[in-house]
Structure 1
Amino acid sequence: MPDYDASKPGVKIVNRCSYDVNVWSILKGQGCPSTEGVVLSKGGIYQENYRQSDTGGVSVKVSKTSACEIGSLTQLEYFIDTSEAYGGNYLDVSYVDCSSDNCPTKAEGYYMQAGTQIGAFKASSDNQHCPILSCSNASECATMSYILPDDTQTKYCPSSQSMEFYMCGGEAPGSDDSDDSSSAPSSSAPSSSAAPSSSDEVESSSAAPSSTSEAEVETPSFTLPATTPDVEVQAAAVTEAPSSAAPNVKTEVVYVTKFEYVNAKRHAHGHRHQHFRA
């Protein structure tokens, strides 16, 4: 078992199968070793921090036998790309070196999680970014794992995030597993709110102010003392109140048809890292 620092990201494999498995961690180009691997009994855990190689990625090979032989291997693979343009962890589960359904997890299924599943490290809707992969039989596992070398099953997650592989069974880890803190919270697509209702026509809440077009003014009559000469009194001229035009109201109705939540740090390039065989 390699030295492992829990404060750094890496790989964790938990054996939930009823049988023992052997585990080897191989750099690309090294091929299968002649020695026995790390033996994991039911409930056993294998952990390693991410390793980098000038020649490519790392293949963590798992077999039911003590010999690392092509034809009997299930592989959990990762490649830590440190380039500025494509930096991150490119990962996959592979049955390319498995010639039958007798390889670990191929018939029983697995649960694999990359990232904490919180915030920017939550699985994207297409499960390409920090994925959760879950399958319970060979047919299901074939839809999310490499069967042939030219399949397109490589996923991505930032290299700061660990990956966990729970063998045998597609259920998320729980109390029966040795570390239930790694259980992935269930995620559901955020529901979009309905578009606010709006009327096509809007009436002004206040009517245009009314105005009087003609003003009639009655001249008051006065009775004057007899000693005062007759005086003719005229009413003062009255200015007509200006008419007020109705306000010009323009209504714009916006229909909201879709809300979309996008995970931060999506892998924004079309470059596909090919499957590798270590």
Structure 2
Amino acid sequence: MKAFGRGEFLGKTLESYLGNILDIFTYRDDTIFLLKPSQNGFSVDVDSFIRYIMEHDKKDHYAALGGSTPLFYKTVLSLKEKIKPVELGEKAIVHTGGGGWDGRKGNINIGTMIERWRFVEDVSKFLGIPEENFTDTYSFTENSFTMTGHYSKEYRDYIFHVPKWAKVIIRDFKTLKPLKRSGDRGLIQVLNAYGTEGFAGASILVDDIGEIVDYNRCPICNTEGMTIKIIGRVKGTEAKGCGATLGGDN
């Protein structure tokens, strides 16, 4: 991952942010990586994935699956023609990474979007993992914190929790005035007072659309704090890609 996408910019060598951040993670010995190095960059090791889910089928083991949403989703869809559905159980979770579903995260191919509810329902049925065990992360390159969300059958969407150390304001599209009622939709502004000496990201207004679920607590898990849904981008704004792919060619 470090070598992939390496390039030169202003006389300096750049490497993938994602490749370097892997150094801070600790993986179990039985972690299986679906991507394997190949002559053309990477190839998908589907056989290892099949062996993994078959090994844990109907055993109610703790298991965590995630990573690239398009890669993971396409792999699961392809398995429907090869094996029968499995039952990984209530101790298994599925987590999709940061970024928005309108960008690389939610595109199978160019112009082919992945609907969040369909992703959850398809993967849940085939792998036998409860829909409420699906979690997601909302973040963007300019932001200095992430928001974790859990899937809700009632909303057919992910509900994101705003951290206690940060603040989110949903602003009216035309007036930019703050909105406060559940169901109000507008532009997302994030505020975070930490790390401002080295990063000019204390207050950022983006072209993503958010919806207020509740200002005080999550209606699903009852956790205190503001909860929101991510609706998508403002019409006419392009998907800018992902900061994790930063390299010499970007």
Scaled by the length of structure 1, the TM-score of the pair is 0.25
Which structure has the larger Rg? 1
- Structure 1 or 2: more helix by fraction: 2
Structure of greater relative contact order (alpha carbons < 8 Å, 6+ residues apart): 1
Scaled by the length of structure 2, the TM-score of the pair is 0.27
